[in-house]
A and B are shown apart, each in its own frame.
Chain A
Amino acid sequence: MTITMRAGGEADELLRKVETLSGQNLAGCYQCGTCAASCPLRGSMDLGPDAIIRHLRFGLPDVLDRQSFWVCVGCDGCVERCPRDIDIARIMGALRQISIQENGDHLVVAQLPAAALRKLPPIALVASMRRNTG
């Protein structure tokens, strides 16, 4: 497999958008992995939070095809422990927003089973809609 990395030259468009929307400077990350070690949902992610930052910084392809930023619920465990004070939850939020703008909603309410909609509390439904739809 060949991976093309960006080296120098113009700023990567996705990186620039993520930094603007999240208000975070990804160059501050020194890849210690504390975020991945702290994440209770890491096992369900296809790329750890530290690797998401690394892929964004290196301009690696297909970051928006990953599931990690949909898996992140913003519990802020990593945010609390990051020694570089990077708000990773905001980076994940920026990726969700960019994906929704480019590809549409991640969750279609009409496709949820009616029984689930009757049973689920409003707190779960509203939070899910706010994170998964534009």
Chain B
Amino acid sequence: MQIAYYPGCTMKASARQHEDAALAVLGALGVELREMDEWNCCGVVHSLTSDNLIRHMAPVRVFARLREQGADEVATLCDMCFNTLGRANLLAQRHPEQIAAISATSGDDLSYDGGADVLHLLQVLRDRVGFAKIRARVRRPLRGLSVYPYYGCKLLRPAEVGIDDPETPAVLRDLMLALGATVVEGSLQTQCCGAYHVVNRDEVVTQRVSATTEQARAGGAEAIVLSCPLCHYNFDALQPQSGAQMPIFYYTQLMGIAFGLDPDQLGLEEQQIALLPLLERHNLVHAPTPGD
């Protein structure tokens, strides 16, 4: 299976481990992501006001280039990109006159009719590959590992672009169960982490991250598993230093561990909060021996 791939900026910067792990696990599942040419930043957030059309130009350009390259769907790993591209796509379908206005500012170089789909990798795994096939590929079940799936906002809302039920999502839970993990759930799984307030109001993020990790810990979770690279940064960098810190995994990293892939492919040491001690405690990776 081949699918066009839109990485977005963060997969090439702070979330390289997610991309590395995704490419490794998809290779093991026979799925090839083909990075599209001439991609640009999607703008990260959807413009919410009616007269600020210029801010839709970035995601519209991604779709226009995709269509020029002969593709009608594109997959992404990033929740923010997925949401911004998905909402721009709805705009193109519902308000073609706005896309025409955007295109007119670029010498009519950005024609796009809303005819392409954007897929989140979790949709590819759930709806194209299937969790049964993923379960069958597991070589080292995550037995005994308790994880708290955290969804945040952009994977789920607004519902017209979300990939799962916005109130009671199941995709990360079902994926983790397929890998053999124990799943802990709670009411804060779908609440915002504070997002870009990490730039200049980080106390807002710290408060959200603390409340969520406390809920996860109280339910017996040893780690949080998530998808969004902004959530990942916030949970990894802004967890309170006092007391034990909870490791933060991308779901692709846990898939790679369960598939028995080489840990070097999974970027396990690229987090601030160490992942290896927990995995070693559960015998999911081998502890290095002296002299290694």
Using a CB–CB distance below 8 Å, which chain A residues touch chain B? 20-23, 40-41, 43-44, 71, 73-77, 79-80, 89-90, 92-94, 97, 107, 112, 116, 119-128, 130-132
Contact = CB atoms under 8 A, between A and B. Distances in A.
Given A121-B230, A128-B200, A130-B43, A94 B48 contact: yes
Contact of B196 (A89, A90, A116, A128): A128
Nearest to A123: B10
Contacts of A121: 10, 13-15, 229-230, 233
A83 to B, nearest CB: 14
A75 B49 contact: no
Given A41-B204, A127-B44, A130-B43, 19 more contacts: A21-B49, A41-B192, A71-B197, A73-B196, A73-B197, A75-B195, A76-B153, A77-B192, A80-B158, A94-B48, A107-B200, A116-B199, A121-B15, A122-B10, A123-B78, A125-B199, A127-B196, A128-B196, A128-B199
Given A44-B201, A77-B157, A93 B48 contact: yes
26 contacts: A21-B51, A22-B48, A40-B191, A40-B192, A41-B192, A74-B46, A74-B48, A75-B153, A75-B157, A76-B158, A80-B158, A90-B48, A94-B49, A120-B198, A121-B10, A121-B230, A122-B10, A122-B41, A123-B196, A123-B230, A124-B233, A126-B43, A127-B196, A128-B197, A130-B44, A130-B45
B287 interface: no
Contacts of B47: 93, 130
A69 to B, nearest CB: 11
A127 B45 contact: yes
Contacts of A20: 50
Interface string B12-37: 01110000000000000000000000
A21 B192 contact: no
Interface of B: 8-10, 13-15, 41, 43-52, 55, 78, 80, 152-153, 157-159, 166-167, 188, 190-192, 194-201, 203-204, 207-208, 229-230, 233, 237
Contacts of B15: 121
Nearest to A70: B201
A126 B9 contact: yes
Contacts of A76: 153, 157-158
B22 to A, nearest CB: 16
B200 to A, nearest CB: 6
Contacts of A112: 199-200
A32 B71 CA distance: 46
Given A40-B191, A116-B199, A122 B48 contact: no
The 5 closest A-B pairs by CB, nearest first: A93-B48, A75-B192, A121-B14, A76-B157, A127-B196
B270 to A, nearest CB: 12
Contacts of B13: 121-122
Contacts of B195: 73, 75, 124, 127
A107 B201 CA distance: 11
B272 to A, nearest CB: 10
> Which among B52, B199, B203 has the highest number of chain A CB atoms within 10 Å?
B199
A80 B153 CA distance: 11
Contacts of A21: 49-51
Given A22-B50, A131-B45, A124 B198 contact: yes
B166 A90 contact: no
A77 B153 contact: yes
A86 to B, nearest CB: 13
Contacts of A107: 199-200
Nearest to B212: A40
A97 B49 contact: yes
B199 A40 contact: no
Nearest to A119: B237
B250 to A, nearest CB: 14
Nearest to A111: B200
B233 A73 contact: no
